[in-house]
Structure 1
């Protein structure tokens, strides 16, 4: 019961904070891509789209947590929402990795990289990331239907009711399939991207610290952004992926997986900070929005003041 309340609270906070911030970022990157696209704009736009899809699915997860993890919605929504929910999480790890590679190449090989720096390459990479995560997470879509078939088969009843939970309470046979699959996710979609991010950002920081023709303020902001992104990557995606490894070693589905997933959920609120420091267009758009809001509040205040 306490876990469900915690899940519900984090889902609500993430939704309320993440939706407006990501809509603002989405609108900004759309305008920027239409005017003059750069590879990092394409990558950040896809990261924003991934976050918005994730946030759109949170109401279903809120309903599940409100009902104490009992799935009372139409059952076809269970595999559909679960599949997209996890695809967007792992898609974010790949996109953040691509952003780290783009930044590293830009400072390590500025002249050589400028020759091959084309937005279409970032677009192709984004499509590949969506395809890779979708193929890897296809088990999440298939497993709920397999559980339903197992229930029907055990009861010798083709019209058996679907499971009362969504992607929970696995049998030993189902765990024999899921645990190696989760280990593969841990190794391929978390460890490899994380090591690439570490390599790129550590070298990015070392190179920036040696550059003489860059102001101290810009250098510190770039280094802070690199360290912040790396910390966000580890804190947001680390706990849940570690649960895959622990579950595989212990041959069980850990009960604390849902709590570990909360840090990945909250990532949708933290990505806009990365957008803000990564893109001057986002900073400009946010400043313009704040000025417009302050101007309207000033007009309302002056209009309501006694003459």
Structure 2
């Protein structure tokens, strides 16, 4: 009974993450694509675009996990699909950690050394940082493919009823557990330490400089808080399972729950995008305006409400200000 309730809750969580994360990340993707197409885009926009693509990769693979969860964690699709979806799914999770660290470094340099940073920043730096994050994550997560072809899928009832990336043999654990430990150290603890240091300095500078406006200070604090929640709530439990598994020489049975928290990252990142970039704030504002107009049309609201909507639209455009999303002090 408990296992059934657990499957139902996990299934519900995956569906909510998919329904909330996909439209928000698609809006962010459209905004960042428009921004990077402009001359000399800032490295942060390239990193934010890469983070959006990582989230979309996870979300596009999430339906496979939904199907697996709805089947009580039995895998009825071909084994190669298990290997490829697992490879892309876990790679996108760990790609996000170093991209978040790169964004924190960019933010810190932008406020700590505003003049030097503005003179030396190049779009190429953002491209190189994004490529490094993708190569590191996909390179490390090749273990998913390796273990899959070591017969990581275990026969459950019949040849068409198997589990995906679970129920490891001892030989498979000898490969999986050390690699998971390395993943935790290289792709979680190190980028988290970098991110905490950079955002600590970033927020301190933003709060102590008198000429920084209250709105920018609030956005700076919000950006740091959301990023910290990403590491602690989304990535933390999943990587703790790696440490516990390596210590106990087994794959923890509660690891499946931590994967749900890691998936939540795809729904939490759009909040980070909102605090981080004015182009995303405008895109979200325009999306809300479209929904508001459609709702008014369906309910046949006219007259006064139409005037209120028009007035609200003007208010949004006036508060956004310049298109720059940099937290620089120039």
Question: Fold match, TM over 0.5?
Answer: yes
Distance change in 2, residues 1:177/1:35 (3 Å): same
Which sections of structure 1, spanning at least 5 residues, go unmatched?
152-159
Q: Residue 207 of structure 1: which of 194, 205, 208 is its match?
A: 205
Contact 1:28-1:285 at 8 Å conserved across structures: yes
Would you say the 8 A contact 1:94–1:193 is kept in 2?
A: yes
- After superposing the two structures, state which structure 1 stretch, 15-24 or 220-229, moved more: 220-229
Contact 2:152–2:169 (CA<8 Å) still a contact in 1?
no
1:235 maps to which residue? Answer: 233
Q: Report the Cα distance in structure 1 between the residues aligned to 2:272 and 2:225, rounded to whole angstroms.
A: 11
Q: Residues 148 and 162 of structure 1 are in contact (CA less than 8 Å); yes or no, is this contact kept in structure 2? A: no
Which aligned segments of 4 or more residues in structure 1 are displaced greater than 6 angstroms? 148-151
Q: How far does the alpha carbon of each residue in 1:56-107 deviate from its partner, in whole angstroms, 9 at most, with x for none?
A: 0011101111111111012210000000000000001111111101001111
Q: Residue 46 of structure 1 is aligned with which of 22, 47, 50?
A: 50
Aligned position for 1:247: 245
Pair 205,74 (structure 1): closer, same or farther in 2 beyond 3 Å? same
In the alignment, structure 2 segments of 5+ residues that lack a partner are 304-330
What is the TM-score when the length of structure 1 is the normalising length? 0.91
Task: Give 1:35's aligned residue.
Answer: 38
> 1:48/1:149 Cα in 2 relative to 1: closer, same or farther (>3 Å)?
closer
Q: Which protein is richer in helix relative to its size?
A: 1
The answer to whether the 8 A contact 1:240-1:260 is kept is yes
Written as runs of structure 1 = structure 2, the 5 A alignment for 1:278-297 is: 278-297=276-295
CA contact (8 A) 1:75 1:162 kept: no
8 Å contact from structure 2 (residues 296, 302) kept in 1: no
The RMSD of aligned alpha carbons is 2.0
Tell me by how many angstroms 1:246 deviates.
Answer: 0.6
Measure the CA separation in 2 of the matches of 1:119 and 1:173.
45
Q: Give runs of aligned pairs for residues 75-86 of structure 1, distance below 5 A.
A: 75-86=79-90
